[in-house]
């Protein structure tokens, strides 16, 4: 189970208050990877298959959002007990007014926080006309504020999912 840390010496075992099986995390990683990588194929099929276009338009963004938030919460809960891997880079974080206008590395732990607290999320890489919806992109843009500072996180979803897969 995620969240169990082997006892050290005579100390008690640390247990995550939300024990979630590693398989549950792996399933979320798999489904999100399939959603991100399959979106373009499904979008192309939707051009000639009206039913597939409808289900994609109805569920894709919602499912990616729901599962991304769920995975971020699971990972954060795990990292609170076992922080190994929490500093792995999964994107870029730009904070308005910071000396480094190029941004800094977005760690796995920070990415989870940004996913959970984002005020704006964009999964779309391209511009679509009114009749089509562009595929979701694995370059997820998250925006929000921390205190009075505005931030933009450029999450590489594939790197995030890879880091998540190594947490289980």
Q: Is residue 15 part of a domain?
A: no
14 in any annotated domain: no
* 51 falls within a domain: yes
φ, ψ (nearest 5 deg) of residue 84: -60, 135
Residue 145 belongs to a domain: yes
Local confidence band at 9 (pLDDT 50, 70, 90 cut-offs): very low
| 5 within domain boundaries | no
Q: What is the pTM for the complete model shown?
A: 0.84
- Note whether residue 67 is domain-resident: yes
Q: Evaluate whether residue 13 is within a structural domain.
A: no
Print the domain residue range for 104.
20-165
Count the helix, strand and coil residues of the chain and give each as a percent rounded to the nearest 5: 45, 25, 30
* 147 pLDDT tier (thresholds 50, 70, 90): confident
């Amino acid at each position: 189970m995620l969240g169990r840390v082997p006892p050290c010496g005579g100390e008690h075992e640390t247990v995550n208050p939300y024990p979630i099986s590693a398989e549950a995390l792996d399933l979320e990683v798999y489904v999100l990877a399939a959603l991100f990588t399959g979106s373009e194929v499904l979008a192309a099929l939707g051009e000639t298959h009206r039913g597939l276009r409808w289900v994609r338009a109805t569920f894709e963004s919602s499912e990616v959002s729901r599962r991304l938030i769920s995975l971020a919460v699971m990972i954060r809960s795990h990292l609170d007990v076992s922080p190994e891997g929490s500093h792995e880079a999964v994107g870029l974080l730009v904070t308005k007014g910071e000396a480094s206008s190029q941004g800094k590395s977005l760690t796995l732990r920070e990415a989870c926080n940004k996913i959970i607290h984002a005020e704006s999320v964009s999964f779309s890489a391209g511009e679509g006309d009114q009749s089509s919806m562009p595929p979701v992109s694995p370059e997820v843009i998250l925006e929000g504020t921390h205190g009075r500072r505005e931030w933009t996180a450029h999450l590489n979803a594939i790197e995030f999912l890879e880091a998540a897969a190594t947490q289980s």
